[in-house]
């Protein structure tokens, strides 16, 4: 009797222990975080900071999995390669859920994760490299350069595929038109697969088709879903690093500098320029493109240009150096080092894009300045304070000052003429200009020509 009771107690104890262990395991399993990281729209350098931060956070919180929620046409290779490196190096198990499409750079990133799942009617592929011209559209590249780039990127994709045990030949066929796979893709075409084709045994790239993210989370065993969200600074970085927005910022910034130079004191022009350039450098700093060096170059250029405008007369070395430093800082902020395999460190296309953006901004700012002076500024209260409301005509009692009387007169330069500056004629100080040469301060000059209020002088030859 006692043995039967003991046996029952032992059995109940074993069952209880097993139940408790299973329950504890289930509870711990379900509360493990699963990070959902959206990769949607254009893949640009502003996205890399967000991906890095999300992966670090997932690692810190010992996440069960990290799922890339993807819907993209592709984007920049430099950003894509950085994202691939982050995903390949992480200790967290990685998944890609292709919501609608993963073209080009999207396919690269998907291959860099350990598991790929797709939604119904989604596609993946067409990952051949395309050179981007200054206008943002495709640019022509030579056959030899194309072969070098394709070979390098194909090797990169193949290495990622081997690490994550994806079918290497399928991945290579998405990059290289010369790859032929019998029954799947013929030579001369790029491989693009639907969700069903990618899941089929012949391809074996996708591990399955699921309706949505929630279904995928259930499929991998559940967990506490944590949706990574782009911070306001990362959103600004993604927006600003797009070519169109940064061109507008530069255009408004240059226009602000022009208005500030043309108006007294520090006003709306200076505030606009400060805001636009601060936003420009902030976005590129967050994206990892610009550092304190570019900002220091820009600030030094502004200081030198200000000294030339407000302190030194004419236009000389300080102004020229200021403009060079400003342009250099803007170009460097827009050109990160692209590490496309098979290409040199100097990426001519990238610099062409930067110069095109700056050129567009300069032309745009000139056009806006013209429109502002012709239509907008004359109607503002500020303009009435710095300009005359009516014309100074003879019928209103105004007399036109004539400088003809100074023709042939001698004077002494009060400032350096480079080529403009000031000179003293008797008791009068006049704004004068040379025919291009520089004349030092304290040199005797003679007025050789007068055209309206323009007084042209030349150095007086003694002896």
Q: Are strands 420-425 and 428-433 parallel, antiparallel or unpaired?
A: antiparallel
Cα 71 from Cα 114, distance rounded (Å): 18
Cα 251 from Cα 258, distance rounded (Å): 11
pLDDT (0 to 100) of residue 281: 72
pLDDT (0 to 100) of residue 210: 96
pLDDT (0 to 100) of residue 196: 95
CA 360, chain centre distance (Å):
16
pLDDT (0 to 100) of residue 29: 46
Would you state the torsion angle of the CA atoms of residues 160, 120, 48, 57, taken in this order, to the nearest 10 degrees?
Answer: -90
pLDDT tens-place values along the chain, 463 residues long: 555 665 556 555 555 555 545 444 444 444 689 999 999 988 877 788 889 889 999 999 999 999 999 999 988 777 888 899 999 999 999 999 999 999 988 999 999 999 999 999 999 998 766 554 444 444 455 565 567 677 878 888 999 999 999 999 999 999 888 899 988 999 989 999 999 999 988 899 999 999 999 999 999 988 899 998 877 766 666 666 666 677 777 788 777 777 766 665 566 777 787 778 777 776 666 555 555 677 788 778 878 877 766 666 555 677 788 778 877 777 777 765 444 444 444 455 556 666 777 777 777 777 877 776 666 655 555 555 544 444 445 555 545 566 788 888 899 998 888 778 889 988 888 888 888 788 888 899 999 888 877 889 998 876 5
Q: Which domains does the chain have, with CATH numbers?
A: 31-230 (3.90.226.10), 234-289+334-385 (no CATH), 394-459 (2.40.50.140)
Cα 326 from Cα 304, distance rounded (Å): 10
pLDDT (0 to 100) of residue 340: 45
pLDDT (0 to 100) of residue 94: 97
Contact present, 170 and 205 (Cβ < 8 Å):
yes
What global pTM score does this model have? Answer: 0.57
Question: Phi and psi at residue 117, in whole multiples of 5°?
Answer: -125, 150
């Amino acid at each position: 009797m006692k043995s039967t009771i003991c046996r029952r107690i032992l059995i109940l104890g074993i069952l209880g222990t097993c139940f408790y262990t299973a329950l504890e395991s289930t509870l711990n399993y379900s509360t493990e975080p699963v990070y959902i990281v959206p990769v949607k729209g254009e893949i640009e350098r502003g996205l890399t900071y967000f991906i890095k931060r999300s992966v670090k956070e997932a690692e810190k919180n010992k996440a069960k999995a990290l799922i890339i929620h993807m819907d993209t046409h592709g984007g920049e290779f430099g950003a894509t390669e950085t994202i691939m490196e982050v995903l390949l190096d992480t200790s967290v198990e990685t998944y890609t859920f292709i919501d609608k499409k993963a073209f080009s750079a999207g396919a690269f990133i998907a291959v860099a994760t350990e598991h790929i799942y797709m939604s119904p009617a989604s596609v993946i592929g067409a990952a051949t490299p395309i050179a981007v011209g200054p206008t943002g559209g495709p640019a022509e590249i030579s056959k030899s350069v194309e072969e070098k780039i394709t070979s390098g990127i194909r090797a990169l994709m193949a290495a990622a595929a081997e690490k994550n045990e994806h079918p290497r030949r399928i991945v290579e066929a998405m990059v290289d038109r010369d790859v032929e796979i019998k029954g799947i893709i013929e030579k001369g075409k790029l491989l693009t697969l639907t969700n069903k084709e990618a899941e089929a045994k012949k391809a074996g790239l996708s591990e399955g088709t699921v309706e949505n993210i929630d279904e995928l989370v259930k499929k991998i065993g559940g967990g506490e879903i944590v949706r990574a969200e782009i911070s306001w600074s990362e959103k600004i970085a993604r927006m600003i690093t797009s070519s169109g927005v940064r061109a507008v910022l530069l255009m408004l910034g240059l226009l602000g500098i022009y208005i500030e130079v043309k108006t007294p004191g520090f006003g709306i022009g200076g505030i606009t320029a400060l805001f636009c350039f601060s936003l420009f450098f902030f976005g590129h700093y967050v994206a990892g493109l610009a550092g304190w060096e570019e900002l220091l170059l820009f600030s030094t250029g502004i200081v030198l240009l200000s000294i030339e405008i407000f302190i030194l007369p004419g236009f000389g070395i300080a102004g020229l150096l200021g403009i060079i430093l400003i342009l250099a800082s803007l170009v460097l902020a827009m050109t990160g080092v692209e590490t496309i395999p098979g290409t040199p460190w100097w990426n001519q296309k990238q610099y062409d894009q930067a110069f095109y953006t700056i050129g567009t901004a300069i032309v745009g700012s000139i056009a806006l300045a013209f429109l502002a002076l012709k239509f907008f500024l004359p109607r503002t209260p500020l303009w009435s304070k710095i300009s005359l409301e009516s014309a100074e005509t003879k019928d209103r009692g105004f007399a036109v000052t004539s400088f003809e009387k100074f023709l042939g007169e001698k004077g002494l330069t009060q400032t350096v003429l480079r080529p403009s500056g000031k000179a003293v004629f008797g008791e009068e100080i006049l704004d004068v200009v040379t025919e291009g040469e520089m004349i030092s301060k304290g040199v005797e000059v003679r007025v050789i020509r007068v055209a309206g209020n323009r007084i042209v002088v030349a150095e007086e030859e003694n002896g």
